[in-house]
């Protein structure tokens, strides 16, 4: 039996590196995995963007094998339209999709909490996260706005967001950031600002929180925040570095989207356009 899973990508509202509390909002970029058990070995095909790294795939397979006692191999097809190592939550989304599809292919019916627990474990094993990224995985799997205490492993808040009249613009530079080189200690001096971003997010002021969070990440890691500032000047409701960067996410009114996209493009960024997404991921077995 084989199974397919499809989940969301997401963008940062609050980076968890400073305090352990992180928040993200799902967007309509979709990432999927098709899993089929085999007699042995690991056959992986990437459709769309190939990350050039199988650590996460191997870790996810190891987690599922340990949980369900599977001793065979896998044939896996992973599809993502977003580039990896840009702060766009692709690692969390791929981990979610892999875990959900592989469990389903073995006849298990994993709950969202099961998928999230195993997904975070796989991401930690593969060293593709600094904090555990439960907030990112939660937004990817559950949709909407998710805030999590990554240090305790609990989701604190999950809410729908109002997508009416809004777009999410991603400004993606050529460079990448290797998460294994990032230390949480770099964020220590910025804890007060991060706590302010957390308070704004809890108040429902997501776009203000996104902007403050982007400044925190920029100050901690030296990632360029000027394109985000220019997007706000051009009419974005909120904009900032997403994840550990270097990509920029901007939430914009539809009637200002072209102007703000042009602003990001002038900064030398590839621009991709999406919507906010409240729907959760889906997974099911196929005979």
The residue written with tokens 């460079």 in the block is 175
Q: Provide the pLDDT for residue 177.
A: 67
SS3 content of the chain, % helix, strand, coil (to 5): 40, 30, 30
Least confident range of 48-57, 77-86, 116-125, 162-171: 48-57
% residues pLDDT > 70 (the chain)? 98
Q: Provide the pLDDT for residue 103.
A: 97
∠ Cα 17 19 22 (to 5°): 65
Q: Provide the pLDDT for residue 182.
A: 72
- For the stretch 14-30, pLDDT in tens is 999 999 999 999 999 99
Average pLDDT, the chain: 94
CB 281 within 8 A of CB 185: no
| Helices of type H across 157-205 | 191-202
- For the stretch 104-136, pLDDT in tens is 999 999 999 999 999 999 999 998 887 778 999
- For the stretch 157-212, pLDDT in tens is 999 999 999 999 999 998 776 666 677 888 999 999 999 999 999 999 999 999 99
CA-based nearest residue to 9, from 172, 143, 191, 194: 143
pLDDT score of 281 more than 70: yes
Q: Provide the pLDDT for residue 104.
A: 97
**What mean pLDDT is predicted for residues 63-86?**
94
**What mean pLDDT is predicted for residues 39-48?**
93
pLDDT score of 287 more than 60: no
Classify residue 183 as left (phi > 0), alpha (psi -120 to 50) or beta. beta
- Report how far residue 28's alpha carbon sits from residue 32's, in angstroms, rounded to the nearest whole number: 12
Alpha-carbon torsion, ordered 192, 210, 229, 263, to 10 deg: 170
């Amino acid at each position: 039996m084989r199974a397919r899973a499809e989940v969301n990508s997401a963008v940062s509202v609050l980076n968890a590196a400073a305090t352990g509390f992180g928040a993200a909002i799902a967007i309509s970029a979709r990432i999927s995995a098709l899993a089929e058990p085999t007699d042995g070995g690991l056959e992986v095909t990437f459709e769309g963007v190939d990350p050039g790294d199988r650590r996460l795939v191997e870790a996810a397979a190891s987690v599922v094998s340990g949980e369900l006692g599977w001793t065979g191999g896998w044939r896996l097809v992973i599809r993502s339209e977003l580039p990896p190592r840009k702060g766009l939550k692709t690692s969390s989304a791929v981990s979610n999709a892999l875990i959900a599809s592989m469990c389903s292919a073995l006849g298990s019916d994993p709950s969202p909490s099961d998928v999230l627990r195993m997904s975070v474990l796989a991401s930690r094993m593969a060293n593709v996260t600094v904090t555990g990224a439960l907030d990112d995985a939660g937004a990817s799997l559950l949709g909407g706005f998710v805030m999590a205490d990554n240090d305790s492993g609990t989701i604190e808040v999950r809410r729908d967001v109002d997508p009416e009249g809004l777009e999410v613009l991603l400004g993606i530079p050529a460079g990448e950031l290797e998460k294994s080189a990032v230390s949480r200690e770099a964020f220590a001096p910025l804890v007060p600002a991060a706590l302010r971003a957390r308070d704004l997010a809890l108040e429902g002021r997501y776009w203000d929180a996104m902007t403050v969070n982007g400044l925190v990440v920029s100050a901690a890691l030296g990632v360029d925040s000027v394109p985000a500032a220019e997007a706000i000047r051009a009419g974005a409701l909120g904009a900032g570095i997403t994840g550990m960067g270097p990509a920029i996410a901007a939430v914009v009114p539809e009637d200002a989207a072209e102007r703000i996209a042009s602003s990001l493009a002038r900064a030398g960024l590839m621009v991709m356009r999406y919507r906010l997404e409240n729907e959760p991921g889906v997974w099911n077995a196929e005979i």
